[in-house]
Amino acid sequence: MIGIWFGGIATTVAVGVALWISRRDWRRADAERRDQEKAQARLVVSRVAPSASHRVEIVNNSPTQAVLRVVPEYAVTGRDDGLRGAVSPTEIVPRDVLGPGETWSVPVMYLADDGSLVATNDYYWSQQDTITITFTDGTGLRWKRVNNSTPERLLDGQ
């Protein structure tokens, strides 16, 4: 009788351990898959143009894959002086293809709270400014990236 009880308990413990191991392995495989999905998205970066031209550059650092439908959503400043930046309205139209190693330079304009344009030679890029871009990678996955942070996967409807 004790042997039956011991066998039942041992079987239950073995099943529990097997389920725990399979769940842990599934989580690890899922994390690796998500990391692989981000591989190309991490290669698409934004930066301030290296001149005082008040432009943002979006760069596809992938050596082999293009990215599609690149949209610079906005450049915003969190400055105390009330200025905010915006991607020039003429550049809001998405770029259909940004090829491997290609750079897209997007003009930025600066607005006062009343919406009036501030002379760009009176304003320089601040560390508080942000640029948000969305794009589709070569595998068809849609991404959002803010100031070169970790890419965020956009699902349908986002």
Neighbours of 16 (CB within 10 A): 10
- Domain range for 58 is 43-154
Alpha helices, H only, the chain? 2-41
On whether both 71 and 36 belong to a single domain, the answer is no
On whether both 123 and 58 belong to a single domain, the answer is yes
CATH number at residue 69: 2.60.40
Q: How far apart are CA 102 and CA 129, in angstroms?
A: 23
Q: Tens digits of per-residue pLDDT, 26-83? A: 888 877 887 788 888 899 998 877 665 677 788 999 988 989 888 886 655 555 555 5
On whether both 36 and 47 belong to a single domain, the answer is no
On whether both 61 and 131 belong to a single domain, the answer is yes
